[in-house]
Homo-oligomer: A and B are copies of this chain.
Amino acid sequence: MASDRYNTQILLPEPTLRRLPWYLSYIDILAADGVATVSSTRIARALSVDASQIAKDLSFLNIKGKTRIGYDVEDLRRALTSFLGFRTAHNAFICGVGSLGEALIRDRGLSNYGLNIVAGFDVKPRLIGTEICHVPIFHPDDMKARQSACQASIGILTVPVRQAQDVADNMVAAGIKAIWNFTPYRVRVRDGIVLANTSIYAHLAIIYNRLNSIGGGALK
């Protein structure tokens, strides 16, 4: 499969990994419009990113543009989607099926980006044994057994702050390799475990602070 050529063992700089999805979403629009080729200059103009930066980022993909023509839109789209891992299904557990946890299970958009939530875990008796959008909910004690059956690599953390560290530890003990932390708590993991924080509430704090300050401005 072509996708195996990409996305293997190249540890990309985080800023590059943050920019590549911008390029992909722009390329998606061009593809939908039937545009056949695109230059890095055109991408640069649309996204306000330096053209040489774009060329450098795309060089990781092992895809070459043609002089004076640019990149083939369909090739570039396929290469970006594969390279970013969005074409491969990654099994995930979600711990904490409260308001945010349920919302993430219901967000079908995530599956378009390769995230396959296979099970939810919660201590609330009224949730255990139910399904949300076909995702079964279990008691946390069943995590190891579910892991044997599902081989999940990603654990989404949406528990209350107070349980965050313990639940992260339990997920790692059950064999989870990456913790995606949505709680405002600073969870720690041992070496060799991937930790990504999506700090929704930190972003709110930044927005409020910038709104109250004079001027505003762009944030990362």
Interface residues of A (CB under 8 A from B): 7-12, 14, 17-18, 20-22, 24-26, 28-29, 32, 47-49, 84-86, 88, 90, 98-100, 102-104, 106-110, 113-115, 153-154, 161-162, 164, 177-178, 180, 183-186, 188-189, 191-220
Chain B min CB distance to A23 (Å): 9
Known A177-B216, A199-B18, A205-B17; judge A26-B185 contact (CB<8 A). Answer: yes
Q: How many copies does the complex hold?
A: 2
A-B contact pairs, 30 of them (CB 8 A): A9-B214, A11-B214, A22-B184, A22-B185, A22-B186, A25-B185, A47-B186, A84-B205, A84-B208, A84-B209, A86-B205, A88-B208, A90-B207, A90-B208, A100-B109, A103-B106, A103-B107, A106-B106, A113-B204, A114-B204, A154-B207, A154-B211, A189-B218, A194-B210, A194-B217, A195-B218, A196-B203, A196-B219, A198-B200, A198-B203
